[in-house]
Amino acid sequence: MKIDLEKEIDLIKERNKRVELDKAWETSLFRVGFISLITYVITAIVFYFLASEGNKYSQIFIAKRRRKYALHILSELKTFC
């Protein structure tokens, strides 16, 4: 009985060590920086191709979004003034 308890305690300690390592990786600055960098690069690539001169459909999409945003800002200004 006593050996079983000691074995279980050892298993729990080993599990706690693994959990601490996983938590350290999840909260590490390297991981946060890496995910931020990858997100920035992917976003930059997408916007680069959306804004390219040869892609007329993306230009239409961007123009519509700009117009919609401008109209939204104007409506907000009208209610504010």
Domain hosting 64: range is: 54-81
Judged against a pLDDT cut of 90, whether residue 39 lies above it is answered with: yes
Q: How many domains does the chain have?
A: 2
Burial 36-56 (b: 16+ CB within 10 A, else e): eeeeeeeeeeeeeeeeeeeee
Averaged over 35-60, what is the pLDDT?
Answer: 78
Tell me: do 38 and 10 sit in the same domain: yes
- 58 and 46: one domain? no
pLDDT of 1 above 90: no
Same-domain pairing of 62 and 44: no
- C-alpha distances (whole Å) from 72 to each of 18, 41, 47, 69, 81 are 51, 29, 22, 5, 14
Tell me the mean pLDDT in the region 54-65. 65
Q: Is the pLDDT reported for residue 43 higher than 80?
A: yes
Which two structure tokens, joined as six digits, stand for 58? Answer: 């993306």
Model confidence band, residue 38 (pLDDT cutoffs 50, 70, 90): very high
Which ranges of the chain does DSSP label H, i.e. alpha helix? 2-26, 29-50, 56-80
Instruction: Mark whether 41 and 63 lie in a shared domain.
Output: no
- pLDDT for 66 beyond 90: no
Between these two residues, 16 and 81, which has the higher pLDDT value? 16
